[in-house]
A and B are shown apart, each in its own frame.
Chain A
Amino acid sequence: MPTSPHAGARPSIAIVGAGPSGCYTAQFLRKDWPDAEITVFDRHEEPFGLLRYGVAPDHLGTKALAKQLVRIFDRSGVRFVGGVEVGRTMTLADLRSRYDAVVLATGLWGDRRLPGFHPEESATDPVGLYGAGRITRMINAHPGRESADVRLGERTVIVGLGNVAIDLVRLLLTPPESLTEIGVPDDAVAALGHHETRTIDVVGRSSASEAKFDAAMVRELARFTDVAFTSDMPDAADAADPRVAAVRELTSLPSPAAPARRVRFHFGWTPARLEADHRVRTSVFRDVEGTRRDLRLDTDSVITAVGFTESGQDAVRCSELRSATSDLDRGVLDSGLYSVGWCRRGPVGTIPANRSDAKIVAATITADLVARSSATGSAA
């Protein structure tokens, strides 16, 4: 290996959050500082955050990234300390006093609430309304899952047209025995419900060409040959667009003779309101163009997959640590305090995008540590 210019120097660096962003940051910092003391903390006992609790368990190729990332703990001498929640188990101030640099890589795991669908923060959600993050964590055996409160029935509405929405469609169509095979816990399998008859409506504001999902994700659904796929995409939709082409391909497959399971894609609908008593009853959507009549979908379960935000349960919030001296483009929150990944940029971009992010922030930290050690004359 090429020798790092900093071999011999031993700064100490704490990373809070062992998801992809935190692990990538540790990986890049280790390349710069072969002798540094690098510790990654996580509130969970196990590392890898979103990779473990967010990525769909049937996407083995993506899940395998964990095997790459675990090498930083197994081989590169980076320490993992699980079960420690900064802000609760120990204070952020305490951590900062003990390490030369502290990096917040806490991600964003709270489900964004949908006005009109979710009641005010203080009120209780109706039975049958769930955030997508809550469902994917449950499917991924998150220790804090409250699966007893989750029951998906025969008519599920998924709000959102991103990859998370498509993940949910696929997992809801997957037979229970296959779910068990890929490690979905029994309580989660029961909560997802196994219904001979099932209708899933996927509804969002975007047109197919504006949708956030990847075309490959839609094409993957074609393997469910017993399912009738339909969409309200206009015939005039741009056939050259890969998403439009993928939806058209999927919905032109020969429909099974008597389909008991249906997936219907609805494009160009703004979520208006959720009619509910103690349970969800009807989801109502308004046409973005204002030309079609309202879309009313009677439902027993609604999953909102409309993005992520800071959770009310977060002990440390990046948003509250930003100040006039922060330089977020470089990942600097304060002197010796950094942020990376979704915690820095917000909930956009895939795992590889967060690797690029980690590279930038690791470079910032290295530059700052070098500047600081030469300023104090303690450079090796």
Chain B
Amino acid sequence: MTAKPLSDKNRENHDVEQIDQGPSVLYIDRHLIHEVTSPVAFSGLERRGLSVFRPKQTVATADHNVPTTDQHLPIRDMLSRSQVDKLTENCGRHGITLYGLNHPFQGIVHVIGPELGLTQPGMTIVCGDSHTATHGAFGSVAFGIGTSEIEMVLASQCIMQPKPKKMRITVDGKLKNGVTAKDIILYIISKISASGGTGYFIEYAGSAIRSLSMEGRMTICNMSIECGSRGGLIAPDEVTFSYLKGRDFAPKGRDWDHAMDHWKSLQTDEGATFDLELGYDAADIEPMITYGTNPGMGMRISAQIPDGSSLAENEKPSFYKSLQYMGIEPGTPMLGRRIDYVFIGSCTNGRIEDLRAFAGFVKGKKKEENVVAWIVPGSRQVEKQAREEGLVNILEEAGFAFRQPGCSACLAMNDDKVPEGKYAVSTSNRNFEGRQGPGARTFLTSPLTAAAAALTGKITDPRDLL
């Protein structure tokens, strides 16, 4: 038998058929939906007179456009409310489980899947959201889909997928103090660009990746799309299994033993070939920050912003347009730059470990008075845990307000918008123009670097305060 990468083996286990000179029909184990990208899929289904083929394999939550305060009240924005109502109606009609606002399991779709044990090794998982790659941290093939594909899954539990090329990114060595999973992925994207992974499915490997918790691994896989790759995975190991054990929807008893037999076999074969292999030394990674308007425009926090002189002529206009939007002079430093907002949250860094890191950093200190900080837990369970662990008290004493779960300022569909021209240090995943509000300017960082900025009101190397 030929040696194969794990992602190929997972895919082959789910191949219903291969269309001649076309895509393969891929069976989907787990389908996650939310209020923004699903309504048109349901109306398409109904126009064809179809019902949902396998309603038990779809789980819904409301996260993208929900408010992060006063969630017990009716949603004020009428359009947002109508989307959330539509989701409730569609789920009710088709027998789909919904963890809506105020349900103890509600939260960002990519936070709740793993924390409920819905995400398991070897599965195929899709969602109408490009950060579905997050679930790849468990060794599953997980990727974002469009609304037409949501309709396909609802109708047939399958989608059509061409086979992607394979890339393996190996990060070996020991991470420096103050360097987190977020810095690893921002570093990788800065090396290969915002489009370097397009057409590939990534496997992350190496001792530095292995040393990460599940939360850290999720942060890495989550941002695979920011280099253009639809998905990325990490082979499961003891860290994965102990994270899953006992979770609400993880297998129990004999089913667990049976699942473990399968999960332990989920590894890339020795000698498997990839279309592209990249390797990095963990010791070369420092706290990272983005300075431009795509996630590939990132650098070490202590570096100077590039002056663009080394770029090809056709790349220069987009580069200078980007810096102009950011209000940044080429060739200047990032350290010491004034900031206005700090956002902790999102499917990238809204998990309990992120809140622990942030709270641990600001404990006993005070938020700089001019900084507006939004601390948004990724789910109700994260919120509850943060209260139980005393993190909320620590944050409040340091001058930070704790909000309710949702996607929030990551995409600013709700009221959590950074005003025009203001600078936000954000633990989310995209620094696109207007992403955090029309005219808003985003610097992407780890929770530690965001914490340092919240305390000083300036871009600050977190290691200076550790």
Is this pair of chains taken from one and the same complex?
Answer: no
